[in-house]
Amino acid sequence: MFRQACWRWVGVVSLALWLAASVAAAPVIPASYEVTIRRDAFGVPHSHGATDADAAYGYAWAQAEDNFWQIEENFLRASGRAAEVHGETALLDDWVNHSMRVVALAQDEYAGADSSLRAILDAYAAAVNDWAASTGTAFRALDRVEPWHPLALIRYLYFQRGFLGAARLQGVEYREAFEFLNGEVDGAAADPRDSTRYLALATDPRDDWLAAAADSAVWPDRHGGQGSNSWAVSPARSASGNALLFINPHLPHFGPAQVYEAHLSSDAGWNFTGYGRFGFPMPYVGHNPDLGWASTDNAADLTDVYVEHFVGVGSAPKYRWGQEWLDPDKWSSTVRVRRGDRLDEVELHHLATRHGPVLGHRNDRMLSVRMAKLDGHGWLAQWYAMGKARSLDEFRAAVQPLDMLFGNYLYADRAGNIFYVYNAAIPMREESLDWTLPVDGSDPATDWRGYHSMSELPQLLNPAAGWIQNCNSTPFLSSASDNPLPADFPSYMAREPDTARAMGARAILSSRATFDFEEWTRLSYDTRMAAADELVPRILDAATAASLSTDAEDAVEVLRAWNRRAALDSVATTLFVTWGEQGGLQAGDAMATLAALEMAIEVLQADWGNWRVAWGEINRAQRVHSSGDEPFDDSRPSHPVVGVPSWAGASFTFWSAPREGLGRRYATGGNSYVSVVEFGERVRGRSLMPFGQSADPASPHHLDQIARYANGFYRSAWLYLDDVKAHAAQEYRPGHEPS
């Protein structure tokens, strides 16, 4: 079996090697790029160039300055080369990557991109390589960054890590297929071309493991899952007569999906501020001088699992489709795996049917996974067009191709429009089938029939209520009026439930006739826990006729007196969140409800010697290594944060959780880039990031935003060049020292 490598040890050693290699060297003067980087008082980069490619060069240079380690890490994983650094613990991830042909598809997309997009990708790669050369920073495994790497990263983050999560809900366990096709990697690998390894499969795909998959595929209720928030109000509901937008993605604070804030502008007319990822060549959510948007994940069904029926004759396996027996795609790839001080080459085997790559194997059954537009292109091109749009018509034209395959858009503009669309490239399917389960790959009725167009998706433009919200919630409760109706859409479309955060958003947006920008800013950090309005009465009712311990009686009174807002000094917040995590959310009756309360008291007393613990004492932010693999530590400095878990329903979301051996709970994500925007004649925006712009502990911008983030004290997000120049703390050209 696979030898277990120590990921944490590798991450620490890799970081040490990077820091040791980051020594001063002769500057590389990128004469071919005309760009100036200005950093504001918080280190946020504003890259201005003569062309869009020049601006992208400066953006990439700033990313490399702030977190080169994460850029290379993301590109290693996106290229299917993680095992070269992280050993056999990353081999399965690399196998999935190669099975999905991530690199080949990215290279093909780059080759077919138009000249403007290729110039941006070329500039991004050149800047990271130039920065590494100018500072003497060594790559851990890459020879250099290639222009197609960002396109591979998009596929890695959204297809390989995102869409395949849906396949796991339907019973696909990648290790089983990996071992079936590749055998024991450490020992003698069985030949996957041996006919004994391709078994004739039963014709009925329904069996016990499918039932288990069905159980796991139930959509979470409004107290389940994690997600993001977005709100918008029209001029009629704004005190200034300007549309307002709240952008609040909830994303990881560490690892490949963490976000990066920046502003790009050019003499060619590009002017966009917002967030991207380390390795993306531009921000992809935010605003320009005319319009902006937020993006919240939806649960659009873009992935299906097919039970394939194989027979094998020697090295020529075939699978059934209708009355035909078809040849699968079979190929091998070679990866390098770090084993101690050496790199070993390992040959991996892959299989695909007309539906997609074979990524599962259960009960002698091959499971292929089909993902919407896996072989398609255009995700980055669509983001670029969206960022350059200057009107609602241009924005809608940019998103019309549905090449950015999922995620609700909530939009506002300077003309006063607010707009929502349940964006997704949703396949058209046979409605009589249950698509939450694997379907029979031999039945042509399970074939997709194209994709729904944007006009066929749930959407809402300028509702009479004057506001729209989406918090990873159903599109059918987006506003107080004019909502799309479920009956107008296929049963497999838009199956999300309502969420507690959406309930809280609707309460806020319905609470007053108009909002001014200062109030909008304050409410974006609201800590009223909408879930408590339903759940606290359940606790109080259960306690009415019960015999409780003295501590439980006191805890009930604390909850009875609580205003249901999280606060740093609130004992009730600690008690309520701990109750939910100790089984309160799943409690089906009064006995289980009170048992969870007793358990919460017991846990807090065991960790703190007293259950009366203030939320700010227990709920903390601590910045660890960019990988997120460095353990949190109660003995190290941390910052109190008032935010609460997603299920609690407050706007300020903070993914903290108890950890074994620690008294405090530390967050791995939640509110990430947070922004409020007012679309007046001159647009103004404010934003925040969780810790600071730089991953370098020695940087003054490593933790300079944490106190603001913890309390919702926004800073200005400068958009216009005169403001950028007036508020620049540093100004420099890449390869030169800041002034």
Confidence of residue 364 (pLDDT cuts 50, 70, 90): confident
Report the candidate in 365, 399, 397 with the shortest Cα–Cα distance to residue 382.
399
Tens digit of each residue's pLDDT (9 = 90 or more) over 517-566: 999 999 999 999 999 999 999 999 999 988 899 999 999 999 999 999 99
At residue 214, the pLDDT reads 42
Token pair recorded at residue 530: 């909408």
Tens digit of each residue's pLDDT (9 = 90 or more) over 634-660: 999 999 999 999 999 999 999 999 999
Side-chain-facing half-sphere of 150: CA atoms under 13 Å: 29
Distances in whole angstroms, Cα of residue 649 to Cα of each of 472, 506, 533, 566? 12, 11, 10, 11
Report the candidate in 14, 214, 25, 47 with the shortest Cα–Cα distance to residue 732.
47
Give the rounded percent of residues in the chain with a pLDDT score beyond 70.
90
Arithmetic mean of pLDDT, 488-495: 92
CA 338 – CA 94 distance, rounded (Å): 13
At residue 170, the pLDDT reads 79
CA 687 – CA 709 distance, rounded (Å): 9
At residue 333, the pLDDT reads 97
Token pair recorded at residue 296: 């919240």
At residue 315, the pLDDT reads 67
Token pair recorded at residue 609: 């010697």
Among 172-186, 317-331, 600-614, the minimum mean pLDDT is found in: 172-186
| Model confidence at 429: pLDDT above 80 | yes
More confident residue, 547 or 693: 693
Indicate the Cα dihedral angle 624, 629, 630, 633, nearest 10°. 80
At residue 166, the pLDDT reads 77
At residue 6, the pLDDT reads 35
Confidence of residue 19 (pLDDT cuts 50, 70, 90): very low
| Model confidence at 724: pLDDT above 50 | yes
Helix (H, G, I), strand (E, B) or coil at 39: strand
Helix (H, G, I), strand (E, B) or coil at 521: helix
Structural contact between residues 194 and 469, judged by C-beta atoms closer than 8 angstroms: no
Sign of the CA dihedral running 525, 664, 560, 540: positive
Tens digit of each residue's pLDDT (9 = 90 or more) over 437-466: 899 999 999 999 999 999 999 999 999 999
Confidence of residue 312 (pLDDT cuts 50, 70, 90): confident
Structural contact between residues 311 and 317, judged by C-beta atoms closer than 8 angstroms: yes
Distances in whole angstroms, Cα of residue 69 to Cα of each of 140, 384, 663, 734? 9, 25, 31, 19
Sign of the CA dihedral running 298, 300, 302, 307: positive
Angle of helix 91-99 relative to helix 174-182, nearest 10 degrees, comes to 80
| Model confidence at 187: pLDDT above 50 | no
Structural contact between residues 251 and 258, judged by C-beta atoms closer than 8 angstroms: yes
| Model confidence at 90: pLDDT above 80 | yes
At residue 189, the pLDDT reads 33
At residue 184, the pLDDT reads 54
Helix (H, G, I), strand (E, B) or coil at 347: strand
Helix (H, G, I), strand (E, B) or coil at 157: helix
Write down the mean pLDDT value for the chain.
90
At residue 393, the pLDDT reads 98
Q: Please enumerate in sequence order all residues whose Cβ is within 8 A of that of 6, keeping only pairs 6 or more positions apart, or say none.
A: none
Report the candidate in 309, 330, 327 with the shortest Cα–Cα distance to residue 318.
327
CA 472 – CA 645 distance, rounded (Å): 14
Helix (H, G, I), strand (E, B) or coil at 242: coil
Token pair recorded at residue 454: 């944007």
Among 46-50, 104-108, 214-218, 249-253, the minimum mean pLDDT is found in: 214-218
Tens digit of each residue's pLDDT (9 = 90 or more) over 217-241: 444 566 666 789 999 999 999 999 9
CA 295 – CA 277 distance, rounded (Å): 14
| Model confidence at 26: pLDDT above 70 | no
Tens digit of each residue's pLDDT (9 = 90 or more) over 566-590: 999 999 999 999 999 999 999 999 9
| Model confidence at 739: pLDDT above 90 | no
CA 608 – CA 540 distance, rounded (Å): 25
Task: For the chain, report the end-to-end CA distance as a whole number of angstroms.
Answer: 56
At residue 190, the pLDDT reads 33
| Model confidence at 126: pLDDT above 70 | yes
At residue 30, the pLDDT reads 61
Structural contact between residues 438 and 462, judged by C-beta atoms closer than 8 angstroms: no
CA 651 – CA 231 distance, rounded (Å): 11
Structural contact between residues 125 and 48, judged by C-beta atoms closer than 8 angstroms: no
Token pair recorded at residue 221: 């209720």
CA 648 – CA 670 distance, rounded (Å): 12
At residue 220, the pLDDT reads 55
Among 201-205, 365-369, 734-738, the minimum mean pLDDT is found in: 201-205
Arithmetic mean of pLDDT, 395-404: 97
Report the candidate in 712, 377, 733 with the shortest Cα–Cα distance to residue 518.
712
* Chain-centre distance for alpha carbon 695: 19
Indicate the Cα dihedral angle 696, 697, 699, 702, nearest 10°. 90
Arithmetic mean of pLDDT, 302-309: 94
| Model confidence at 21: pLDDT above 90 | no
CA 588 – CA 18 distance, rounded (Å): 52
- Residue 584: which H helix or E strand, with range? none
At residue 8, the pLDDT reads 33
Burial class (CB in 10 A: 0-12, 13-18, 19+), 668: middle
Burial class (CB in 10 A: 0-12, 13-18, 19+), 671: buried
Token pair recorded at residue 49: 């160039």
CA 721 – CA 542 distance, rounded (Å): 60
At residue 164, the pLDDT reads 82
